[in-house]
Chain A
Amino acid sequence: MDEDIKAFLVESYENISQIETDLVTLEKNPTNKDLLEGIYRSLHTIKGNCGFMAFPTLEALTHSGENLLSCLRDGQLQLNAEITSSLLELLDAMQQICAQIDAIGQEGEVDYSGLIQTLNQLQSRDRGDEGGFCTNVTINSQKEIPKPAPTNPEGSKLPCDREELMSALTTPNTVQSIRVDINLLDKLMNLVGELVLVRNQIQQFSTLQDETAFVTTSQQLNRLTTELQEGVMKTRMQPISTITRKFPRVVRDVAIATEKQVQLEIEGEDTELDKTIIEAIKDPLTHLLRNCVDHGIESPDIRQTQGKSATGRLRLQAFHESGYVTIEISDDGAGIDSERLKQKALSLGLITPNQANRLSDTDALNLIFIPGFSTANFVTRLSGRGVGMDVVKTDVEKVGGTVDVHTQLGLGTTFKLKIPLTLAIIPALIVTSGGDRYAIPQTSLLELVRLQGEQADHGIEYVHKAPVYRLRGKLLPLVYLNRELELVEWEPEPAHPQSEIMLNIVVLQVDNFTFGLVVDAINDTQEIVVKPLGKLLKETPCFAGATILGDGKVALILDIFSLASRAGVLSDEQTNALIQQEMSSQSTIETVQMLLLFEALDNSRMAIPLSRVVRLEEFPRTAIEQVGDRQVIQYRDQILYLVNFANVSFVSSQRFSAANQKTAVLDADLLQVVVVACQSGRQIGLVVQRMVDIVMEDLCITGEATRPGVQAIAVIQGQVTELLDIEAI
């Protein structure tokens, strides 16, 4: 096909879907001039291009659409549902023609004169006062499509010409894309994945080598690989908005067909997923949305009798969670009645009465995924044929995902899709348990806690048999990885919990719920290439995939969600309690801040917001180098300026010298350094005496700063603490 036509199609498809989105939004706020202007311009671009390319049917269509739009723009007409519907119909027709052009290179034979006439009538409706009659006028079959006479006054013609000129000027520049075979991208992705692994191996060698040239080269390799990896990943990643863009229209159509009022909210549209996965989940998502409108959300009058607002809320949220992308579709509709499901399944002969009695509510919910199951009493155009939910499930499972459904009668239903990033390269924490290494996706990682000696002896307490740790005053349930994975015999009540000398707790978050995973050792953080486990191990719980570590060995990637539910961390009761707790604490959340408490070299107690802390590090004193009058450390390929409090807070020379003595005392020790991010993006290192704690504190400022570098004074944990002003340092 002609390159020009290809470019035309790509641009037209883009424009059409843009108009579609804008139009549905415009319907909600019909007064938005900018949106209307945007729609007009997009349509006009298509029309202009049609002229160049000689597609008369498409040109005629767009022309009448444009006329209608210009009436809207001039305020002669008000946008209503009828106009929106016919404009959407116009878009469908345009899409059809584009598809035809795509397939055969020509516009095809379909006659759109009816649609054109409708569009023309709509715009003349308000001119005459006979609007009411127009709707029923039967359209005579006119073979010849009259090129609509320019009904616009001359004035509006002018900007058109200018825009035409503009779009003609900008068009060649905007088409900066080429089509690439997806298989080629797959191949590139695999190669980059392997390159990353080789890079990791080289990096391990380079730590053993002293040769500077080698180390530099491997650093170079590291940087290039990372950039290449990001680039190739990007070529395959698409924001989820590429499919969600269509959803407002879908929801609108179903809502109108079922005479319901629905408001669709979409969050996390920029969440990116691999292209193949995006394509695979498009249909399931569309189906779920339609289902929610059709089955979930009640009609406005029923909603109002139940004290809900007439407009139903439909939410689609997409976000990254523990190495997966989670997509939640929730409505505030009627919910699913599990009793009714059972009855229906019985009458359809899908289950026996015996089974029905034994079925728990949760299991009953899963009945909707059985092929041939439908609760709708009538088969409608939209649903009720019993094909659907089972297809949704199989489609999602095909890409290795899962579908969960939660419902509350009268309150709504939530479908939760977990989509894996099988092709992704993700940052992970490598831990050791039972002699093997495991990777934990960093997305679910909150913090690491190490208990030593005394602390390890007494840190773990038991609520009956369940081990817990007091993390900043709250009980954190502990899960022993080696026991969950059955690497050691599970002892219900360890006889000597004191025997553990050092304890590593990885604090993880799943679904708003935190727990501590006890591992033998914490090794490293690494970029890992997620590889699927394959059919043989698909049923094996707790693992999301596998990866190859720097030394060439295989490590399993933990599926934190599955691990947590296996360990019983996620019970409904706990989740509910947590939600309530969250609700109650929501009002106060703004003033509560996470603070890092430490003791400065002059023994004063200080705090900085944890959000500013990049890392806590220990450096040997020998690592310090002197640059002019400043002390620096080479840190992660950067030069890190060290800030010594003794130097910053010079209240008196006495104190200064006292602090200097302190530094002298520290000479033999390791330096405790808090790496802090400045607003400018630079990092600095605060040298401190010791870390005290991390606290969640409702900040109440009690005093003004008494020395430079200090922002304010507050009472934290019953002690006066200075809050540092990082920017001032």
Chain B
Amino acid sequence: MAQFHQFCTFFLDHFFLGLEVENVQEVIRYQSITRVPLAPPAVRGLINLRSQIVPAVDLRQFLELDQNVTKIPVETELDEDSEHLPLNVVVRTADEVISLLVDDVGEVLEISDNCFEKSPETLTGNARQLIRGAYKLTDQLLLILDTDKVVELTIFKPTLRN
């Protein structure tokens, strides 16, 4: 019997990405971000999530996307432009809560395991570690992210730099 899983889906650039719904704590609109100097480049800063301080992670770098697309204002004036501001998908990983900055959120989809296929061998680099595989939907592919890997990759970065 095929098993069904629920996924919270979102868009980042031209990617259609998904996370297991159990790992997603909530999705919230843009929060002002306090940048952290000297931090790993993927960490855009910290947000205040109801008195909890949560790092906001930008996946663009790992997915080798143009990093200048997301405009993150230094000072938050939530103006009419707020539609173009990134949204926060707040994710619970093994040890902590992080927020992934995404362009837009999609629906929660319930998909059968039958549609799943692992990433092809031709996928290399960070993306290979980050994307567990794809669900073949009728009109496009839903790429499934491994959130624990996000943490791992982010921490790994600065040591590489040294």
Contacts and interface: CB of A to CB of B under 8 A. Distances in A.
Given A535-B151, A539-B158, A554 B37 contact: no
Contacts of B95: 535
A671 interface: no
Interface string B21-63: 0000000000010111111100101111001110101000000
25 contacts: A197-B51, A434-B37, A486-B37, A486-B38, A531-B52, A533-B55, A534-B53, A535-B151, A536-B40, A536-B43, A536-B96, A536-B154, A536-B155, A537-B39, A537-B43, A539-B40, A540-B38, A540-B39, A540-B40, A542-B38, A548-B48, A553-B32, A553-B48, A554-B48, A555-B34
Nearest to A566: B38
Contacts of B96: 534-536
A78 B46 CA distance: 66
A193 interface: yes
A436 to B, nearest CB: 6
B68 interface: no
A546 to B, nearest CB: 5
Q: Which range holds the interface residue count of chain A? A: 20 to 34
A194 B36 contact: no
A376 to B, nearest CB: 33
Given A535-B151, A536-B154, A553-B32, A485 B53 contact: no
Contact of B151 (A194, A536, A546): A536
B105 interface: no
Interface of A: 193-194, 197, 434-436, 485-487, 531, 533-543, 546-548, 552-556
Given A194-B51, A553-B32, 4 more contacts: A436-B35, A534-B96, A535-B151, A540-B158
A309 B43 CA distance: 55
B37 A435 contact: no
Interface in B134-161: 151, 154-155, 158-159
Contacts of A436: 34-35
Contacts of B151: 535-536
Q: Is the interface of B mostly helix, strand, loop or mixed?
A: mixed
B74 interface: yes
Contacts, number: 74
B55 A534 contact: yes
A543 B53 CA distance: 14
Contacts of B89: none
Residue among A435, A486, A535, A546 with the highest chain B CB neighbour number at 10 A: A535
B25 to A, nearest CB: 15
B98 interface: yes
Interface of B: 32, 34-40, 43, 45-48, 51-53, 55, 57, 74-75, 95-96, 98, 151, 154-155, 158-159
A541 B36 CA distance: 10
Contacts of A543: 36
A536 B48 contact: no
Contacts of A553: 32, 34, 48
Contacts of A534: 53, 55, 96, 98
B61 to A, nearest CB: 14
B38 A541 contact: yes
B95 to A, nearest CB: 6
A547 B53 CA distance: 8
Contacts of A197: 51
A90 to B, nearest CB: 46
A553 B74 CA distance: 12
Contacts of B34: 436, 546, 553-556
Contacts of B38: 485-486, 540-542
Contacts of B48: 548, 552-554
Contacts of B51: 193-194, 197, 548
A555 B36 CA distance: 9
B72 to A, nearest CB: 13
Contacts of A193: 51
Nearest to A536: B55
B57 A554 contact: no
Contacts of B35: 436
B34 to A, nearest CB: 4
Nearest to B95: A535
B126 to A, nearest CB: 16
B49 to A, nearest CB: 10
